[in-house]
Amino acid sequence: MRQQSVRYASSDDVDFVVVGSGAAGGVLAKELSTNGFSVVVLEQGPYLRAPDFRHDEAESYFGGGLMGTLRDHPHSFRATADLEATPAFFLPNLLYAKVVGGSSLHFSANYWRFRPVDFRERSRLGPVSGTNLADWPISYEELEPYYTKVDWEIGVSGEPGPSDPFRSRPYPMPPLPIKSSGVLLRDGAARAGYTSQAAPLAILSRPHNGRPPCIHCGLCWGQACEVGAKSSTLAAMIPIAEQTGRCEIRDRCAVTRIETGTDGRVTRVVYVDPNGVEQAQSARAVVLSANGAETPRILFLSETTRHPDGLANSSGMVGKNLMFNGFSQTWGDCPERLNEYKSVVATRIVLDFYDSDPSRGFYGGGGIDARSSGSPLIWSALDNPMPDGPTWGPAYKAQLARYPYMMSAAVHTTSLPLETNTITLDPNLTDACGRPGLRVTYLDHPDDLATLRFLQDRTVEILEAAGADRVIRAAVALATVGVHLLGTCRMGNDSRTSVVNRDHRAHDVPNLFICDGSILVTSGRGQPTMTIQALAFRAADRITALARAGDI
């Protein structure tokens, strides 16, 4: 049952408005409200509940299910700023859910921790020419207690791997049952001389915190979990926040700008309510957790004469250093049936190539997982044809019939932060609530492509060693679709080169905090949500301490 939520008046000066209810916003809402603060969460998407989640891929991908439609959320893409941006058509360039719980509802829940090296690559490796590669102002050791909080409070299944970083507490539950793709990756990796481990997943393998375990329905990828076994913030955080009686979740409320007073402090958050009427919520402080694309949009739209290039943007870094993470895959067509459409996406991973190795001649690292070649709809309809394979007719039909025999070894890699990879406002597009559409400008760094090719070569070795009949590489191509939206409000000690400080406070605005993928300084190895949530738990501690000290 939905909790009877507290209701605040827009004139109430609540302690915090949290913009966004996803991976980060859901954690902040729960932490701040349980710490005794009054909280209003503004979420642009609807408040759906478990019974709303149908196993319907068409609805999820085209019917506006979790992500909304391109008509309501128009955006455009270009590789470089000298090109005209092309509006997204049929398939989006930015993939994220617009619902209470955000993309934690539709993610595939791979929960790799970052490693100590992720936080200090710049000082360890030196500069990478033409990039903004930088150290973080915080360390893995500082974040470790919060990774552990994610494990236990969000609910992560797994078991330690041979090269895992230090953990202060074991996983709360064992990994999900290995699938056929996991067996083949494990055995192929061993034969090729590599090591594998169980994939840590934010999906319950056992009952935990009153939630049931996974039923292996097979539709994690892009769909929400109706049993609540996937550890979305909707399942794990929002109910606790509402039970405090201090947190109001206001759904279908799209923020259009943040108002600041003559002293430069945030006063109110302006939004469009479900009836299309503009409203404004007063707050003592604001936490932006809207994601790496939406957060910069709100900051740009909040420009004033005091903040002419957008709120909190004296550094000029808002919207820049966008990082998607690299992704590529290799398909294995195997002699026997795998039925990868069943159960979770990935059950086994190889992290032997996590670290950047200067002897390779380029910056970058990543991981490999064994996964389904795609859901029935996506694989069959959209990812086909295989490169150089048949495109229609009897041979094409025969290829579709290979679906249960296919797996993918997918590669997840670093993206370098580049000032030229950006989120900006599209002057030609307007969304359903009157905001300018998002314009993505993105061109992979050559080292990012080299990293993808290097890792893909390893997947070919592994799949061949695993005994696949056919090993088919997907082309390593320039990214045009962003699923991870990172880096656009980076954290740093220097207000000239970063947007927020180590407490997530905007350098320019004392009562504005940012906590989502946008504050990431480096991209990690392709599975950022675990780190975004560890940061959110830590940010809540920092913000609480500042508030209690009267320093907000």
d(C-alpha 491, C-alpha 500), whole Å? 5
Residues 223-252 that bind another protein (CB under 8 A): 226, 251-252
Binding span for another protein by CB under 8 A among 149-157, 211-219, 321-329, 412-420? 211-219
Beta-bridged to residue 441, according to DSSP, are 78, 422
Instruction: Tell me the per-residue interface mask from 393 to 412 with another protein, x by CB under 8 A, - otherwise.
Output: xx-xx--xx-xxx-------
In the list 248, 340, 426, 461, the residue contacting another protein (rule: CB under 8 A) is: 340
- Is there binding between residue 190 and another protein (CB under 8 A)? no
**Minimum distance from residue 4 beta carbon to another protein (Å):** 15
**Minimum distance from residue 513 beta carbon to another protein (Å):** 28
**Minimum distance from residue 297 beta carbon to another protein (Å):** 22
Binding span for another protein by CB under 8 A among 257-265, 302-310, 329-337, 520-528? 329-337
β-pair type (39-42, 75-78): unpaired
Closest among 336, 321, 349, 357 to 492, alpha carbons compared: 321
**Minimum distance from residue 219 beta carbon to another protein (Å):** 9
Residues 366-385 that bind another protein (CB under 8 A): 376-377, 380-382, 384
CB 100 within 8 A of CB 21: yes
- Which run of H or of E encompasses 18? strand 14-19
Instruction: Tell me the per-residue interface mask from 168 to 187 with another protein, x by CB under 8 A, - otherwise.
Output: ---------xxxxxxxx---
65 or 155: CB nearest another protein = 65
**Minimum distance from residue 455 beta carbon to another protein (Å):** 23
- Is there binding between residue 102 and another protein (CB under 8 A)? no
d(C-alpha 278, C-alpha 346), whole Å? 43
Residues 104-163 that bind another protein (CB under 8 A): none
Instruction: Tell me the per-residue interface mask from 53 to 72 with another protein, x by CB under 8 A, - otherwise.
Output: -xxxxxx--xxxx---xxx-
Instruction: Tell me the per-residue interface mask from 16 to 55 with another protein, x by CB under 8 A, - otherwise.
Output: ------------------------------xxxx-xx-xx
Phi, psi values for residue 520, rounded to 5° = -60, 135
**Minimum distance from residue 186 beta carbon to another protein (Å):** 10
Tokens 């829940």 locate to 109
Strand spans (E) along 321-390 = 326-333, 346-350, 366-371
Closest among 423, 441, 411, 415 to 323, alpha carbons compared: 415
**Minimum distance from residue 56 beta carbon to another protein (Å):** 5
* Integer angstrom CA distances of residue 414 from 346, 449, 521, 528: 19, 10, 12, 11
Closest among 164, 181, 445 to 321, alpha carbons compared: 445
In the list 124, 169, 306, 337, the residue contacting another protein (rule: CB under 8 A) is: 337
**Minimum distance from residue 373 beta carbon to another protein (Å):** 11
d(C-alpha 234, C-alpha 209), whole Å? 14
Task: Give me 232's structure tokens.
Answer: 């979305």
d(C-alpha 145, C-alpha 538), whole Å? 9
- Which run of H or of E encompasses 397? helix 394-400
Task: Give me 419's structure tokens.
Answer: 């000032």
Binding span for another protein by CB under 8 A among 107-115, 118-126, 128-136, 215-223? 215-223
**Minimum distance from residue 250 beta carbon to another protein (Å):** 12
Residue 50 neighbours by CB distance under 10 Å: 12
User: For another protein, how many residues bind (rule: CB under 8 A)?
Assistant: 62
d(C-alpha 265, C-alpha 331), whole Å? 53
Tokens 């509402």 locate to 242
d(C-alpha 191, C-alpha 288), whole Å? 47
116 or 239: CB nearest another protein = 239
Binding site for another protein (CB under 8 A): 46-49, 51-52, 54-59, 62-65, 69-71, 89-90, 177-184, 215-218, 226, 251-252, 334, 336-343, 376-377, 380-382, 384, 391-394, 396-397, 400-401, 403-405
